[in-house]
Amino acid sequence: MTKHGALGVAVIGTGRMGADHVRRIDAVTSGARVAAVVDIDAERVKAVAEGIDGCTPYTDPAAAMAAPDVDAVLIASPGPAHEAALLEAFRHDLPVLCEKPLTPDAASALRVLEAEQRLGHRRVQVGFMRRYDPEFVRLKALLAGGELGRPLMLHCRHRNASVPSFFTEPMLINDSVVHEMDQSRWLLEQEITAVTVLRPRPTAHAPEGIGDPQLVLFETDGGALVDVEIFATCGFGYQVQAEAVCERGTARVGDAHGMLVNRAGTWGGEIAQDFVARFEEAYDRQVQAWVDATRRGTVEGPSAWDGYAAAAVCEAGVRAQATGERVAVELIDRPALYR
Ligand code: ISE
């Protein structure tokens, strides 16, 4: 632990999420400080570091992780860079909060899982932030309490106002529906065994090459069914909703967020425009929980196993999307470290 006992965090990647996490650790999170920032863009990283007391800019993640004032690592670089950063963090035995995806495919996620097992203890928390959203936390507690009986189905909606220019069709699965994969595994405490993707006639507003929206179906090893509407170019805002249908009732989250106003013959509220705004509190709680657990010397939250399982479901999902077929998910047996 660095001066005043604050956890010195190296934030790797200063893009949208990385920059938001730098701001968060600097201004919101207690018990931590941004000791280092890393980005291949030397100018950008220098500018980010300049705004923060005692923060050193680096262009090489390995150099930041070797610095004496770095106690922990937050990885927010693009997915393909995660594996190398995770393995480097393991070399220094540093605790890691890794933004989703853990890695972009199941084979690389498996290599990370094996490397963490060689360490002999968990080091990674994966950034599936919905597990920290107050509404989802209440839904989880309700389902786990058993009052509604067994969950039979989940109906999910995941809508983005628009997508960035680099977005591709597989990203509907790998980047967006990956959240519902983790959410379903977490809420149901079941593994996803097969994925099917169905397509309606696409919206005229989708970019070239992206069939949007899509309906993604999961089957689980507990006999539940999950349907996910992914609509990445809905135009009106960012919405994430989930309804659990159980033996003795249903429960739904994500409908209204914030204030409802009556005004000039209308009734209603506002819709967040992006995930940074909608899940701000979840991100805050997620990072605080990671810092608190790290300072206690423990690792909690979504594990590398959860990251691997989501990657395996994503692989099946992308194949289902490309072929129109039902694709079975291939998972290894859960290693002892993650039971
Ligand atoms: C984005 O990458 C995210 O992680 C958001 O949470 C998700 O809602 C969005 O669809 C993704 O593109």
Domain limits at 68?
A: 7-129+281-303
- For the domain that residue 162 is a member of, what is the CATH number? 3.30.360.10
Distance CA 14, CA 111 (A): 25
Interatomic CA distance for residues 69 and 236, integer angstroms: 44
HSE-CB for 259 with a 13 A CA cutoff: 3
Q: What is the CATH number of the domain that holds 90?
A: 3.40.50.720
Structure tokens at 80: 């393909």
- At 135 the pLDDT is 97
Q: Ligand 1 centroid vs 175 CA: distance in angstroms?
A: 6
Q: Which residue has the tokens 């909606």?
A: 157
Give the count of alpha carbons within 13 A of 54, CB side only.
17
Whether residues 151 and 121 fall in one domain: no
Positions of the chain with pLDDT under 50: 3
Q: Does ligand 1 have an atom closer than 6 angstroms to the CB of 179? A: yes
Q: Which atom of ligand 1 is nearest to the CA of 160?
A: 10
Using one digit for the tens of pLDDT, what is the confidence trace for 288-320? Answer: 999 999 999 999 999 999 999 999 999 999 999
Taking CA atoms, 215 is separated from 21, 226, 301, in Å, by 32, 10, 28
Please tell me the total count of domains within the chain.
2
Q: Up-side HSE of residue 41: CA atoms within 13 Å toward CB?
A: 10
pTM recorded for the entire structure: 0.96
Helix (H) or strand (E) holding 253, with range, is strand 249-253
Give the Å distance between the CA of 20 and the centre of ligand 1.
14
- Ligand 1 centroid distance, CA of 92 (Å): 30
Q: Does residue 327 lie within any of the structural domains?
A: no
* Closest atom of ligand 1 relative to the 171 alpha carbon: 12
Cβ pair 290, 125 in contact under 8 A: yes
**Domain shared by 176 and 299, yes or no:** no
Ligand 1 in reach of 167 Cβ (< 6 A): no
Query: Is residue 74 a contact partner of residue 101, using CB atoms and an 8 Å limit?
Result: no
Which are the contacts of 292, defined by CB distance < 8 A and separation ≥ 6?
Answer: 31
Instruction: Tell me what pLDDT residue 3 has.
Output: 44
